[in-house]
Amino acid sequence: MQGESFDYSKAGVNIEAGDALVQRIKRMIGNNFRPGVLTEIGGFAGFFKPDWKRYREPVLAAAADGVGTKLKIAAILEKHDTVGIDLVAMCVNDLLVQGADPIFFLDYLAMGKLDVDQAEQIISGIVEGCSRAGCALLGGETAEMPGFYPPGEYDLAGFAVGIAEKKDILTGKEIIPGDVVIGLASNGLHSNGFSLVRKVLFEYAALDPGRSYGFLQCSLGEELLKPTLIYVPLVLPLLQQYPLKGLAHITGGGLELNLLRVLPPGTRAVLEKKRWVVPAIFNLVQERGNIEEREMYRTFNMGIGMAMVVPAAVSGEILDSIRGKGQQAWVIGYIDDNEGKEATVTIT
């Protein structure tokens, strides 16, 4: 059969670019942030040897997540070096609230056409996120998928594995009336609710990402791209020092639905909004979108990135420890008896 001769590059896949990216990633990773890594980036699989001697009955925990449509903001601003931090944060914070120490991370990056410089920016954020979390970047996959993603667009997914002592897994079962809820401040939207944010701010209100609005201390675009806080280095030592009873990573569903996931039957959490500071970005979104307050609290973190349920007797010490490390935190509520009914969360 005669005619044009095809190869993979004519189908839109550049194998050489993929190899060039792997070499850049190897240079970025350096010491890989944690002892136990047995293989270099670029193999078929990554190997990690945990320090089993530290544990009496070790168990592994795993979590997967993505960044969502916050990636659209990165594309608008042509700034891709922070969304990788979001990716790591979304996974390792989920491990942390179960009492697990994140030990390694893998990523999946898919794009229509591999732009090595853009991919390097993205992965630099993943490397930074792993550094902040103290976990190893063990490997990943970069998929070039011509005809599937439009030019310039990409998607990110992350996978994290952690380790915990079996007896120390946090389930929330020990939470009782009289315990208090400590809220750790978020630094803004983190990585949830961006479909609504984009609809309100860019499609409906037609705001300029290069300008500052309301009480924002930076441009709107900079505010929206603030990476999700990684709470691992702050909270992991607290888990080892204090009897924390329950932790909730406040993502989609807000305080109400995420805190509800750790409360045992017969309890209810009563939270008081006046006890913490809501960042200005939430006020801007609510005002420009005419969004009801209940909807705001069920969609966004509203200034609380992680909630901790702790015995009242040690709440002061825990707060002092958190604030001493430069993190804002407040006692935002308490646990009450719910008369044998299913657990509830009330925000007043």
> Hunting for tokens 């939430």 — which residue is that?
282
Residue 13: predicted pLDDT:
59
204: DSSP letter = I
Domain boundaries, the chain: 8-168, 180-347
> Encoding tokens for residue 39?
């293989």
Q: Is 144 exposed, middle or buried (0-12, 13-18, 19+ CB in 10 A)?
A: buried
CA distance 290 to 28: 44
CATH fold for the domain made of 8-168: 60s Ribosomal Protein L30; Chain: A; (3.30.1330)
What residue ranges of the chain have pLDDT lower than 70? 1-18, 30-33
Reported as a single tens digit per residue, the pLDDT across 51-106 is 999 999 999 999 999 999 999 999 999 999 999 999 999 999 999 999 999 999 99
Reported as a single tens digit per residue, the pLDDT across 235-245 is 999 999 999 99
Judge whether 8-168 and 180-347 match in fold: no
Q: Is this model's pTM higher than 0.75 or not?
A: yes
Phi/psi for 172 (5° steps) reads: 85, -5
Q: Is the dihedral of CA 112, 114, 117, 122 positive or negative?
A: positive
Residue 286: predicted pLDDT:
97
Residue 28: predicted pLDDT:
72
Class of domain 180-347: alpha beta
Phi/psi for 167 (5° steps) reads: -70, -15
Residues in a beta bridge with 329: 184
Residues near 240 by beta carbon (within 8 Å), at least 6 away in sequence: none
Residues near 34 by beta carbon (within 8 Å), at least 6 away in sequence: 103, 104, 134, 135, 136
